[in-house]
Structure 1
């Protein structure tokens, strides 16, 4: 206690003389109560994730991680701590992926992804499809899911960032409530001379298998009311 009081007096005197160097008091108490630093970096996380012995990944799978991991390193920095990554960081990765051209590494070899995106805009190069972008976003989410599982992160900041895919949306079946209006069109009224067309439409509208669509067709086209 006496030593502590003496050290405190010394510290106050040094501060009064504008001396802010490390002293015995700071070393004794300041360091002990200093907020702990450190943790796993993003680069370490990505290396550990791909090296996980519980998962077998082929060469193509490993290559599929290259673009999104490069985007993460470019935008967040390889030394950023995993626990410091937030939702905004992952959203920036998504925004970059939306501007990257197809086969970016081949079209612009040696360029960063951000430079490739800028050049692609100037050169009018076609961009990656929504499906491809979503596959990378799923990989990003899988990375942070693994970090949570390994207790390296408290949450997954990259969850549910996928884009709406217009190609997939086109294949969604027509709501059943809209079918009566659809089948009242002149082309399908009575199913006259257009059996195949009716079957094709019923499969598209209901999302049914061929057998179910044919059953639907028979019920619609062979009943007395038709």
Structure 2
């Protein structure tokens, strides 16, 4: 039986990495074989592209960024995600294609449709079974990410608040258009409350 593919999305500082780890642990405790991963990255090839993408000293146009993300994603899907799902494992991924649609497509002004077409080639039919959108106050989340990472902030965290607001609005639009795939969770609550809401969504939608 094919495994399930769950992605966590949201703006900077939304708590995606923490919640991905907690969700993976919870699924494992329930007896599921699980794989926790992230984007960009997750495989040696994708991690090499991640280093290029997040290096704030290397300039890329939005078009170049979109294609680099798609290249990393293609390797990630073909090497890790698709084989894991075929083996019956549940894959939990911190960011996936919706992030590229929001960051490069909407906020980067390439256009969501164009970026979607680039990524459809990269992922084929490997779309998430469930996408958890952690909704937070965009400005607060961005400040939290900057405070957390300090001098290590990447090219995306360092963009202005208008950019991050456009990202947040794009995520909201995606969730509104695809209510079957998206479950929206209030990311401003405590870590335990957010984890509980995510578990409830998974139980309702997938179990």
What TM-score comes out, normalization by structure 2 length? Answer: 0.24
Q: Structure with the greater relative contact order (CA < 8 A, sep ≥ 6): 1 or 2?
A: 2
Return the index of the structure with the highest Cα Rg. 1
* Structure holding more strand per residue: 2
What TM-score comes out, normalization by structure 1 length? Answer: 0.22
